[in-house]
Amino acid sequence: MLKEHSSFIKQAVALIDCFLLAIAFLLAYYCAALLKPLEPFLNYWMMFIGFLGFYLYFAWSRSLFSLLQFTWIRHLVSRVIMIFVSAGALGAAILFMVPDKFHSRTLYLYFFLFSGILILVEKILLRAVIVQIRRHNRNTTPIILFGRGRSASSIIKKLEAHPEWGIRIVRIVDIAVSVREFEEILRSIHVEEIFFCIPRSLTKTGFKIDQYLQICEEMGRSARVFLNILGSTSFARWQYSSFLDSPTLLSHTVELDPDQLIFKRMFDIALSLVGMGVLVAVFPVLAFAIKTTSPGPIFFKQVRVGKNGKRFQIYKFRSMGIDAEVRKKELMSQNELSGAVFKMKNDPRVTSIGKLMRKLSLDELPQFINVLKGEMSMVGTRPPTPDEVAKYEKWHHRRISVKPGITGMWQVSGRNRITDFDEIVRLDLKYIDSWSVWIDIKIVFKTVVVLLERDQAY
């Protein structure tokens, strides 16, 4: 098999990382002690163990110990930074729940910085060593490539362009080779795997891969089949999983990263709790203003369409008259957006206090309730109404393949200057296709800047 599952190597690297973290903690303690008095060294064991545990979890799940995995060196620096940010955030959250004498912000900050630097330097050095070893044709896996067509050519080009992956093609076998000839080839040369790259079009001509796979099975050779079904979609990602005791491939257009999704949910909960604090503080003033300036309830509730078509009730401070939905039909001819969204700058349905709330985005505050309930996220695509979804073109529906958000790419890209719904959807799809926790954080900060600059909403 390809040299990517060596548990011994993974465990050895994990032990080295543990040792480096211990060194970083020791250095951090002595540096922090120069600035302020600290408790005895062993009193901070919980800080070290807690951070170490979170680091090992995230590092293991994101393949930071898999040195022999041929794609290990891809995006190495960004992966290390993401792991440390995730572990550091969780570690900091735990520290605030233990007695003061068992934690020190100064010590923790030094520990975080020193450990990050040591681990990053270690990984970069290991990367350089692995690249040099494999470029000199050592620690490589000999394979046979069986197939033809664009799929096979693509695999060959990738392997030739990346010798550091450690995969060496010793022979290319065309599908015209008979089963008996294929067996003789396996007998005569040393290979650890056979890559099968069969074009989809050939499956209609009677070619069967079964006998070749059986030869590999009988001779104890590993076979890796490149499923050409992947080429049937343009941008959807494919993920292998076992389901109902059968191997399956799941096609999805949203990156399914469990670690980042957990972090995103924690991020949502943390910010929504802050938002709820603001909501409670301004509620008496806004409630009084809404009730005294127009008849009707304080809150506006409306059914919206969430992730994958799931409907939920959104909450807002009411900024329009109680007959807003009825009057909307009369105003459709004045819609300033082309497509399945209604937007009007001087909307006569908006109340006097509603204009102020919209200018400061105060009407959106109750949506933190939706975020806490898990119906929305802090960052995402804006949730449409069922009527709007009914007008969607087929490609528009992908914008509701993720959890909707209070803010998003459109809101920080000059939403009042965009008048084409298709452009809004393109921004939403750009967010979906490039999503990461970092993008969410960036959008939140940009949203704050937009609010401070009073980029008027309407």
Residues of the chain with pLDDT below 50 are 3-5, 458
- Cα–Cα distance measured from residue 349 to residue 351, given in angstroms and rounded to the nearest whole number: 6
Q: Which among 257, 255, 209 has a CA at the least distance from the CA of 58?
A: 257
The Cα-based distances of 156 to 52, 145, 152, 163, 170 in angstroms read 41, 8, 6, 11, 11
Q: Which among 383, 298, 377 has a CA at the least distance from the CA of 340?
A: 383
Contact between 417 and 345 (Cβ < 8 Å) = no
Q: What is the pLDDT of residue 20?
A: 94
SS3 category, 375: coil
The bridge status of strand 237-243 relative to strand 246-252 is antiparallel
- Cα–Cα distance measured from residue 249 to residue 239, given in angstroms and rounded to the nearest whole number: 5
Residue listed under structure tokens 């921004």: 427
- What does the pLDDT look like over 168-207, one tens digit per residue? 899 999 988 999 999 899 888 888 888 988 876 655 556 7
- Cα–Cα distance measured from residue 169 to residue 19, given in angstroms and rounded to the nearest whole number: 38
Sorted by sequence, the CB contacts under 8 Å of residue 97 that are 6+ apart come out as none
Q: Which two three-digit tokens encode residue 315?
A: 């909450």
- Cα–Cα distance measured from residue 142 to residue 140, given in angstroms and rounded to the nearest whole number: 6
DSSP string, 374-425: TSSEEES-PPPPHHHHHT--GGGGGGGSS--EEE-TTTTS-GGG--BHHHHH
Q: Hey, how many other C-beta atoms are within 10 angstroms of the C-beta on 256? A: 11
Contact between 326 and 352 (Cβ < 8 Å) = no
Sorted by sequence, the CB contacts under 8 Å of residue 236 that are 6+ apart come out as 251, 252, 253
Q: What is the pLDDT of residue 100?
A: 59
Q: Vertex 227, ends 224 and 231: CA angle to 5°?
A: 145
Angle between helices 45-61 and 76-95 (to 10 degrees): 140
The separation between the first and the last C-alpha atoms of the chain, rounded to the nearest angstrom, is: 60
